Structure 1
């Protein structure tokens, strides 16, 4: 039977002129409408086969091909999670059916449950797939323009060294070691959580983050200062593979109840684990590290990424400003002027 019911909706099932088996939802509970859908679909496939028309492609076809093309991305699994959520809105649509109304509906739904920046990440995935379908695969002739939400400027939240010492004293040992290492190296949480001993040279006082584990897919060499070396000395011998563990396993999550309780006891508010990296960068700039040096140390992909810390360099720039101290542009305060 070419039309059958599956759940609440009717589905069509037939063989195309090319011998391919076609099985798709008609997205209707009305049998007559399902029959009309099947007739239109058969006509479209005939035009593709006999007249050379461009075949209509579905969103799911595009997702499968896009995931195959982007499986090298560091955040590939995050993309999959986003696409699973988007499947509830786009799974049954052809690419040419995804218009501004559909996009706006998705945007409003995601914005109602998440921040503007989170909603933008979902919209960016849709945009990337549609643009690739248009420009590289020639599956569609045009793609709708996707408007992103305006996002607040990126926050720079950092704490003083006294606050950091208080926080470390309140944390359980396994989190305190990770936090102290982060404050000395600026490494992201995942890079600290899964840092292996074979990525560390205690003799050379260096660590390495492999390209596949780096956010910008570039390998990073991490100089280890005295503070970082001290932490590693305490961790030596605890686990043969990983530098930082809890119950002999890497810590997948650091923003735990223990972290929150330690912040409360330390009297520190609005502070996330990632802000340890902001703190490390802020301390460096205040100590005179140039933004170019900071970019290389932190593994940022562009100079623009470190400009957020530029305003903290005021004390460092005072010496530069004082180079003009011997410039005399005005009369001494007690000098007499000619009448």
Structure 2
């Protein structure tokens, strides 16, 4: 039997005990009812006991039948390690449209959301929604001792590798507006994602001019990596640091109005690039075609390979979570070696 007990100065009722059916029993660790109202706490206890008896009778799948997709999102957001801000926004969109649907048919719920809301999204963007939806469903299933569910991924071409020659790199760097050049220099020689760079602070948690190191907070994959500062990046940042009085906090990069860049990962619609127009103008000035601002990340990784840096080190420095994500750059090394060997007489 379950019982309630009043605790604390606020008189909150707590529930504990066990529920049995035949030779089956579920022990319930004490948890808060969240209320000091005896009737409300008793009602909650009765509902919970009914749910547990239903589980004893029909197995863990019974809880899935009773639950909603919103319950899965609650379980996922309650984890000790919360998802990144962009994924929290995606969960909000998902919850708003399909949160009330039953957990019995999550694949059908996902397809309903995808068709109604994601038609105009790029495949990679759709797959990020799918990924966080699947993670939430499986968090809930794991809590109830059910096997994980796999929702088919959205196919997209993620094999693009685009890089510049050193001459083209320097010409393009020089073509940017002066306040943008230091940002792009960091992209070219350290390879962070654009928002990782734009939100970087001064000091030990970001750009540490004293130690000549950069702490890259790869928020997308929850990876934090401290790396030595490239001499070109130091040359670009040192005058800014000196001019601002050698700060140990605050944003490193400011826009043309002298204000920090907005973190578009926290916007109501994730994504967006505040440097898109400046990049487009710089490419036109430098005569560079088919080179997006994200391609600076490909450029950095490709030149790391050509410089002989191993893929494991590139993976750690670039904040990728798996070696599979950087294996696309391995062919760059092969092509570079072929080009070099052909120069021999």
TM-score (norm 1): 0.69
**2:172 & 2:324 partners in 1: Cα distance?**
30
Q: 2:92 — aligned with what?
A: 84
Q: 2:191 — aligned with what?
A: 186
- Determine whether 1:19 maps to 2:57: no
1:143–1:110 CA distance, 2 compared to 1 (3 A): farther
Contact 1:295 1:306 in 2 (8 A): yes
Shift of 1:179: 0.2
Deviations 1:44-87 (A, max 9, x none): x69936954555222223322321216533x2x21222122223
Contact 2:174 2:181 in 1 (8 A): yes
Greater relative contact order, per chain length (Cα 8 Å cut-off, separation 6+): 2
Deviations 1:105-130 (A, max 9, x none): 22333452112222222222222222
Contact 2:301 2:329 in 1 (8 A): yes
Contact 2:209 2:238 in 1 (8 A): no
Shift of 1:251: 2.3
Q: 2:282 — aligned with what?
A: 262
Aligned length: 280
Shift of 1:175: 1.0
Shift of 1:265: 2.7
**1:145 & 1:315 partners in 2: Cα distance?**
37
**1:100 & 1:223 partners in 2: Cα distance?**
45
Q: 1:127 — aligned with what?
A: 134
- Determine whether 1:233 maps to 2:233: no
Q: Note the aligned Cα RMSD (angstroms).
A: 3.4
SS at match of 2:164: coil
1:109–1:238 CA distance, 2 compared to 1 (3 A): farther
Deviations 1:148-184 (A, max 9, x none): 2222233112222222223222211111111012212
Contact 1:123 1:146 in 2 (8 A): yes
- Determine whether 1:250 maps to 2:260: yes
In structure 1, runs of 5+ residues without a counterpart are: 1-14, 22-44, 326-339
Contact 1:208 1:221 in 2 (8 A): yes
1:271–1:79 CA distance, 2 compared to 1 (3 A): same
1:146–1:303 CA distance, 2 compared to 1 (3 A): closer
Q: 1:337 — aligned with what?
A: none
Deviations 1:22-63 (A, max 9, x none): xxxxxxxxxxxxxxxxxxxxxxx6993695455522222332
Contact 2:203 2:209 in 1 (8 A): no
Alignment of 1:32-181 (within 5 A): 48=50, 52-53=54-55, 54=62, 56-69=66-79, 71-73=81-83, 75=84, 77-96=85-104, 98-137=105-144, 145-181=150-186
1:57–1:183 CA distance, 2 compared to 1 (3 A): same
Larger Rg: 1
**2:321 & 2:99 partners in 1: Cα distance?**
35
